[in-house]
């Protein structure tokens, strides 16, 4: 008994802090770990079974069912669109400023919650529902469009985008994003610096290759949200009409 107590005391003295994959409270599974693992494996295996079943169906030349909801027009739609754009740009500006000069407690500073939960996580869920939301509400693209009014180079770019690059710039940014998320000990100040660096990288890409090309192939969140949005039930067609499919 004494030996066990002594061992535990020494272990407590030698213990070092452990960083969890969150800036909040660690989540405790409401079930044994083995049940969680086997359940996840079973769900993955069954998903392939369901996929194989539907892939055997012969769809022929049948057209997908679509419900055209219409195209929003008028001053109210324009005002709402511009208002949402202003909110997106303003919220990111607020998050960056809050991280630079605000409270450095991750629980009390808005930029940690806003970026990781509201934008990065919430943006993925929103893209799965409304596939085209980020095309017109991308804060970095909005800023680039505003700057292009005074600098034509930002719209057209100085060089032609190399076809061999394809989506590799966006993939490289995604890998860095995952590394920062999983292993980076980010705090409000460091997160604001990361967002400023990302802004500089985005504007550099726009300056070199133009707005349209960079945000189609080279921008991390534009590519990520567009890929997720391809399975969304609510889309916009070629005439910019809202379509439920």
Q: Where does the pLDDT of residue 76 fall: very low under 50, low under 70, confident under 90, or very high at 90 and above?
A: confident
In a domain, 177, yes or no: yes
In a domain, 127, yes or no: yes
pTM: 0.75
In a domain, 57, yes or no: no
Tokens of 145: 């469009």
pLDDT value for 4? 46
pLDDT value for 32? 80
In a domain, 114, yes or no: yes
Q: How far is it, in rounded angstroms, from Cα 164 to Cα 162? A: 5
- Give which of 108, 122, 123, 124 is closest to 24, Cα–Cα: 108
- Angle formed by the axes of helices 188-209 and 168-183, nearest 10°: 180
Separation in Å, CA 132 to CA 72, 91, 144, 231? 14, 20, 19, 11
Q: 234 with 131: CB under 8 angstroms?
A: yes
User: How high is the mean pLDDT of the chain?
Assistant: 83
In a domain, 221, yes or no: yes
Q: Is the pLDDT of residue 11 over 70?
A: no
pLDDT value for 197? 96
In a domain, 26, yes or no: no
Tens-place pLDDT, residues 203-216: 999 999 999 999 99
What range does the domain containing 97 cover? Answer: 75-240
Q: How far is it, in rounded angstroms, from Cα 168 to Cα 202? A: 14
User: Which of 101-105, 108-112, 188-192, 235-239 is least confident?
Assistant: 235-239
Q: Is the pLDDT of residue 24 over 60?
A: no
The total of structural domains in the chain comes to 1
pLDDT value for 140? 96
């Amino acid at each position: 008994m004494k030996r066990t107590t002594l061992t535990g005391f020494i272990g407590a003295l030698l213990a070092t802090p452990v960083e969890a994959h969150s800036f909040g409270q660690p989540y405790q599974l409401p079930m044994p770990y083995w049940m969680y693992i086997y359940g996840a494996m079973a769900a993955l295996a069954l998903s392939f079974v369901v996929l194989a079943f539907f892939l055997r169906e012969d769809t022929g030349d049948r057209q997908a069912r679509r419900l055209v909801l219409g195209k929003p027009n008028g001053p109210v739609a324009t005002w709402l669109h511009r208002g949402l754009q202003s909110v997106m740009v303003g919220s990111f500006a607020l998050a960056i400023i809050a991280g630079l000069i605000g409270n450095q407690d991750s629980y009390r500073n808005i930029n940690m919650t806003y970026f990781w939960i509201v934008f990065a996580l919430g943006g993925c869920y929103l893209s799965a529902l409304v596939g085209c939301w980020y095309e017109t509400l991308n804060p970095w693209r909005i800023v680039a469009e505003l700057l292009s009014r005074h600098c034509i180079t930002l719209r057209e770019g100085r060089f032609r985008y190399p076809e061999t690059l394809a989506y590799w710039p966006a993939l490289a940014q995604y890998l860095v994003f995952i590394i920062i998320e999983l292993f980076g000990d980010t705090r409000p100040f460091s997160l604001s610096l990361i967002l400023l660096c990302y802004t500089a990288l985005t504007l550099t890409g726009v300056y070199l290759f133009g707005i349209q090309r960079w945000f189609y192939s080279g921008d991390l969140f534009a590519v990520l949200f567009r890929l997720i949005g391809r399975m969304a039930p609510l889309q916009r067609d070629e005439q910019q009409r809202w379509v439920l499919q």
